[in-house]
Amino acid sequence: MSNQDKILGTLYGQAIGDAMGMPSELWPVERIRQTFKQPITTFLDGPQDNIVARYYQAGEYTDDTAQAFAILEALIATDWQPDQQVIADHLLNWADRADAWQRNILGPSSKAALRLIQAKQSPDTVTQQAITNGCGMRIAPIGACYTPNELDQLVAMVAQITRVTHASDVAISGAAMIAGAVTAAMADYAWEDIMQFAMQASAQGKLLGAPTWAADNNARLQLGLRFARQYANDDQRFSTAIYTIIGTGTMASESIPAAVAIAYYAQDVKKCAYLCANLGGDTDTIGAMATAICGAKYGYTSIPPEWPAIIDAHNFEHDIHALAAHIGHFQAATTPSQGDATKS
């Protein structure tokens, strides 16, 4: 499998998990079942009574993926030297184009931080206490830029990007967990080793953030992996355990460990997208993160071909193939060798 196939798998995995999880976003699982009658297994319009998803049509991805791609464009504009003001400007430009302020589709931490930046004020009072999952929802493509022997560079890049809106320990830790899982999946690590690398990146990232009282991402992920092993081949019991015990809300320490545990359990792009869309809670964000990891592991060619076509047909703002090519060029310019990897 080519490196470009895995990069495309990451980017389309992010977009697919996001778009499929969009209609059920921020609804409890009972309401999802009452509204859709059957499990979500395809792209659907956002229901008009879902105050977050109502603005989206079937196949459209949400702010999660739009922000992830805006960050990539900011890095490309600065020759991959992360500039927090440039990143903020790209996020603000996206928010204006998407009418994100009026539609209230920005997460609370990102919205507050970007408003302060827009007003030429320091966002530190917000970012250092930000414990929501905006940190992780838009970071998966960064994991595709690095190889496992570049862990220090990966975590440093993640931290610089994340600090624009989220500077807490749990936020940087969570973002590093998602990016680390993608990096190890890109290198075709075995699933157990992907999890270990993700936790190593998470622990390293945690040291770079402002201390908070939030639950530890690695401890939550270890519990989620225990459920994945305990309920192997029992999707309902596994999903229920994630939903009721790990949590699927907008806190980083809920949705990020949940997403990584789901990727580990599903080990397949299609199954991962389905599980996330029907999970309850922050389904689009969990879907974006989890399905990006599976896409990084198994590549673009593992994705049902009609799904990327739907994504491309309904999202005109970003050229995913062009973004993937830029990531490939960055990797080629900065990575002398792939390094050793544990193959599955």
Q: Which two tokens stand for residue 72?
A: 């990539």
Residues 217/228, Cβ–Cβ less than 8 Å: no
Separation of alpha carbons 169 and 204, rounded Å: 10
Question: Which pLDDT value is given to residue 341?
Answer: 37
C-alpha 333/C-alpha 283 separation (Å) is: 36
First-to-final CA distance of the chain: 13
Domains of the chain: 3-332 (1.10.4080.10)
What's the CA gap between 344 and 338, in Å, rounded? 16
pLDDT along the chain (344 residues), means of 10: 93 98 98 97 97 96 98 98 97 95 90 96 97 98 98 98 98 98 98 98 98 98 98 97 98 98 98 98 98 98 98 96 97 65 36
Q: What is the pLDDT of residue 104?
A: 84
Any idea what the Cα angle at residue 14 is, between residues 147 and 329, rounded to 5°? 40
CA nearest to 140, candidates 43, 46, 35, 17: 17
Q: Quote the pLDDT of residue 56.
A: 97
Check residue 344 and give its pLDDT.
36
In this prediction the pTM is 0.96
pLDDT of residue 334: 82
From 184, 183, 205, 204, select the one nearest 194 (Cα to Cα). Answer: 184
Tell me how crowded residue 200 is: count the other CB atoms within 10 A of its CB.
Answer: 18
